[in-house]
Amino acid sequence: MAIQIEAGNKADVDRTPRGNAVISVKEQMQAWRNADLFFFPLISVLIGGAAVFLCALTVGDWSYWMDWRDRRWWPLVTPLLLLALPAVATYAFWRYFKLPVAATGLALGFWLSQIVSRYVNFHVFTAFPMNWVMPEVWIGAAVVLDAVLLITRSFALTGLVGGMLFGLLFSAMNWPVVAPMHMPVLLGDTVMTLADYMGFQYIRTAMPEYVRIIEAGTLRTFGTHVAPVSAFVSGFFAILVYYVFVWIGSKGSRPSWLGKLV
Amino acid sequence: MERENHRLVRQVLLVVLMWALFMPVVFAHGEIAQMAGIRMRTVHWFDTKIEPTQVKVNDIVTVRGKFMVSGHWPDYVAKPEEWVFLNIGVPGPVFVRMDATVNGMPQYQSTAFKRGEFYEYEVKMKARVPGEWHVHPLINVWEAGPISGPARFVQITGSKDDFVNTATSPRLE
Ligand SMILES: [Cu+2]
């Protein structure tokens, strides 16, 4: 969208385009900037909203409730599913506009849409406390992904380094939201985390306690360090997810299939 | 032809109007909506007491009663010996559950109920959101779904802003 203009000779720059509301190159630049200012937030919120929908379909309860955020599956599955759309958008934005902003813009739009969704659907409509249904944040991980693309200027390297970092950083960057929920509290004589406690207190009729017992494995190869191991595994898979969805982006952003459709 | 069409429109409108006017208002649901096999051959609820039914925000409402887990549990319903959870059927967290016991023992997490056995339960809840709410005792059975018991309407008055909820951290002594 922001297209670079090669300023040739002076006469060329000052020439007035005919039959156009824009009468100088300067105004043309301004028009492009205005279009950018209008379209970027719009596209961010639109694709971000699509990512919210995708997240609701795939991550679902892991994303909704604090007591679902376990240390094994949540850090593994969530970043993998959240990386799909940014990878598609990254292809289009980098290939056609040379803008390394797709992931960051999408993460911002996602966060905005997600906060609105949680506030209206979970807090106002069904009365759950906001800290209990806070959405995950991945703006930081998206910035890192875009920064790697900006530095390396290569999809292959961005997948390798950025994808790995995306998976690795996700759970660490969400720790400030999750950490207070790990505080120990007493229910009778039973010690629970605050997340478990609130899960018991704030009644969810259709969500019995047993459905969230998902960390069933007892294999402890790496001792107690389950979350970092999950994050590493997530990083490895994220590399693959990034490549696959950049490829899908390369197919999807070509307008040829549109011609066949219409 | 046009007259015919008009008559048809009038007839459809009349049917819709009659349907809207004479449709009974449905209050009860849950246990009554369940199919007979679930209602009569899974969990038998009795002596259900949900009281008091008029409370202010922060007041305690107790759901207590007994149930018998049928020995003739249908073959097509997942068995309660796997995973069950004693729950409450309410529209959202309008109450906060403070305590739950089955046969006098704490029931904070999921458990197993044996077919042919008899259980007594008690759930204490603190009123949180003002309104009139239908409160059911309920048992979630893994892979089978919720099996709800009889319900009462509980009216909560006051303001949600007055709601207080505190937690105790374990003391290291
Ligand atoms: Cu009901």
The range of the structural domain enclosing residue A81 comes to 25-180+224-252
Q: Say which range, A15-19, A240-244, B59-63, has the weakest mean pLDDT.
A: A15-19
Q: What is the pLDDT of residues A203-255, one digit of tens each?
A: 998 888 888 776 665 555 556 678 888 899 999 999 999 999 999 999 888 77
Query: What does A48-66 look like in DSSP terms, one character per residue?
Result: HHHHHHHHHHHTTHHHH-G
Question: Does A108 fall in a domain?
Answer: yes
Regarding beta strands B54-56 and B152-157, do their DSSP bridges make them parallel or antiparallel, or are they unpaired? parallel
Q: Answer yes or no: is A218 within a domain.
A: no
Q: Which residues of B41-75 are buried (b: 16+ CB within 10 A; e: fewer)?
A: ebbebeebebeeeebebeeebebbbebebbeebee
Banded pLDDT at A6 (limits 50, 70, 90): low
- Residue A247, in any domain of the structure: yes
Q: What is the Å distance from ligand 1's center to B29 Cα? A: 5
Q: What is the ipTM of this complex?
A: 0.81
pTM value is 0.79
- Residue A187 is assigned to a structural domain of this protein: no
pLDDT band, very low/low/confident/very high, at A83 (cuts 50, 70, 90): very high
Please say if the pLDDT value at position A159 is more than 70.
yes
Query: Residues 101-120, chain B: which have Cβ within 8 Å of A?
Result: 106, 108-110
When CB atoms are compared, the residue of B83, B97, B146 closest to A206 is B146
Is residue A210 domain-resident?
no
Are the beta carbons of A186 and B165 separated by less than 8 Å?
Answer: no
Give the one of A128, A190, A194 whose C-beta lies nearest to B106's C-beta: A190
Q: Cβ contact (<8 Å) for B129 and A200? A: no
Nearest-neighbour CA in chain A from B25: distance (Å): 23
**Amino acid occupying residue B61:** V
Test mutation, B87, B88, B105, chain A, max A CBs within 10 A: B87
Report CA(B148)–ligand 1 centroid distance (Å).
Answer: 9
Residue B85 to residue A191, Cβ atoms within 8 A:
no
- Strands (DSSP E) contained in chain A are 184-187, 190-193
Which domains are present in chain B? 28-162 (2.60.120.570)
Inter-chain touch A197–B167, beta carbons under 8 Å? yes
| B63-114 residue pLDDT tens | 999 999 999 898 888 999 989 999 999 988 999 999 999 999 999 989 999 9
| Pairing, β B131-141 against β B145-148 | antiparallel
Quick check: A192 and B83 CB within 8 A? no
Of the candidates A127, A194, A202, the beta carbon closest to that of B167 is on A194
- What is the CB-side half-sphere exposure of residue B164 using CA atoms within 13 A? 2
- Residues of A whose CB is below 8 A from B97: 200-203
Q: What confidence score (pLDDT) does residue A254 get?
A: 79
Distance CA B31, CA B143 (A): 18
Question: Residue B139: is its pLDDT beyond 70?
Answer: yes
Closest CA to A242 of A38, A85, A124: A85
Cα of A53 from ligand 1 centre, angstroms:
30
Distance, CA of A98 to CA of B73 (rounded, Å): 64
List B65's β-bridge partners, or say none. Answer: B121
Which of A125, A145, A144, A141 lies closest to A133, judged by CA?
A125
- Residue A161 in domain: yes
Residue A157: closest CA among A207, A119, A100: A100
Q: How many domains does chain A have?
A: 1
Question: How far is Cα B152 from Cα B146, in angstroms, rounded to an integer?
Answer: 18
How close is the nearest chain A Cα to the Cα of B4, in Å?
Answer: 40
CATH number of the domain residue A234 falls in: 1.20.1450.10
Q: Which region, left, alpha or beta, applies to residue A80 given φ > 0 means left and ψ of -120 to 50 means alpha?
A: alpha
Report yes or no on A32 lying in a domain. Answer: yes
Residue of chain A minimizing CA distance to B172: A184
Q: Is residue A10 part of a domain?
A: no
Length of chain B: 173
